[in-house]
Amino acid sequence: MHHFSYRDGVLHAEDVSLAELAVDLDTPFYCYSTATLTRHFQVLKKAFAGLDIMICYAMKANSNQAVIKTLADLGAGMDVVSEGELRRALAAGVPARRIVFSGVGKTAAEMSLALREGIACFNVESEPELELLSTIAQRLGETANISIRVNPDVDAKTHVKITTGKSDNKFGISMTRAREVYARASKLAGIRITGVDMHIGSQITTLEPYQQAYRILGGLVEELRADGHPITHVDIGGGLGVPYRGTNDVPPHPDEYAALVLDTLGHLNCKFVMEPGRMIAGNAGILVSRVIHVKDTGEKRFIIVDAAMNDLIRPTLYDAYHEIIPVSEARNATLNSLADIVGPVCESGDYLAQNRPLPQLEPGDLISVMTAGAYGAVQACTYNSRLLVPEVLVNGPHYAIIRPRQTYDDLIGLDRLASWQH
């Protein structure tokens, strides 16, 4: 569910007209709904009521501080994968004790900062990382709480670029070596074993991979406890999908997911950590763009808009589908014909939709790219020297610019001439 709907013939974000926003801000821009962010978090929290769980929002999905603050105020912790994300979480007022640090390439500097701040846990991805973390912790006189990310070799049945639990993925430690690595961790100074971590992928739309992975995980926890390791928490990852294709693409409800967790892991009597990102932020955001030209080659119709692959790379990078609708309800009612929606970037891969049945859009029309709140703005870049677009947060009848549009002075000012060029 989301809070974007037609009112009086115009698409609104909660109580704010997107047509009026486009006048105030120009296009393109991202728009996020506070009500949707709130609802998604609360539905998930309610599903796991009765379990000792810390819901750590995966900031890689959308790391705008206003989004982080919205969720932190609801009680969310944060899952971070870089120093930048850690600093963003801290700047938004998230207590370090509610932050877990994931990611395969943590540097000594990142570890040092996280140790000094006193984060809840490091999700350790490799043996070299474990050894380095021990060295850094000893140097600082700190103790690092760790869980080790184990790779169950389970196919999440998702896109190849966002699956993380197969044996040929870069993430985690093989199940066959997990007990050996935990034995090594127990002997390292500055290391305190507290949990086990597993994350099998993103945009997962069926519970079967979770069931398979969690049964393996539960067995491992029992083995580790038998080996004498004090496993007090289990990190079950995130990855539950969102309905990019509306009612034709509905993933399991959080209630079903929670029931599965209880069935497969409830007997462990431990604390749970989970790291949802997309399922909270995905449907809470849209990308609004304006039609520049309509080009008909005789073989294909192209709708050229002012948003491009540098603003939303998911269709190009992941072959992702985003529903696209006109901001004008009257325009949405026109007969559909096949078209591509493309941007101004000089790449054939610059498209938001291909061979899509679309209304009869005309230059000046506004469109909304739906379900763009996750992995949209965070993956944007300035390719072709295009400016990063603004982000807006709506709350009922109010809106705030939570990231202003970049200026050309900002963009060009990042460069420096060489000393001999002055």
Report the number of secondary-structure helices (H) and strands (E) in the chain.
13, 21
Sequence letter at residue 402: I
Pick from 181, 222, 174: nearest CA to 198: 174
Residue 346 bears catalytic tag: yes
31, 56, 346, 381: the active-site residue: 346
Sequence letter at residue 288: V
Are 317 and 350 in contact, with CB atoms under 8 Å apart?
no
Sequence letter at residue 146: I
Are 165 and 199 in contact, with CB atoms under 8 Å apart?
yes
Distance, CA of 99 to CA of 119 (rounded, Å): 5
Pick from 150, 116, 117: nearest CA to 229: 150
Are 75 and 45 in contact, with CB atoms under 8 Å apart?
yes
Residue 58 CB partners (closer than 8 Å, separation 6+)? 79, 238, 275, 276, 277, 278
Strands (E), 48-190: 53-58, 77-80, 99-101, 121-124, 144-151, 173-174
* CA-to-CA dists, residue 405 to 5, 26, 34, 336, 421, angstroms: 25, 10, 20, 33, 30
Supply 165's token pair. Answer: 């639990």
Are 243 and 250 in contact, with CB atoms under 8 Å apart?
yes
Residue positions annotated with a catalytic role: 346
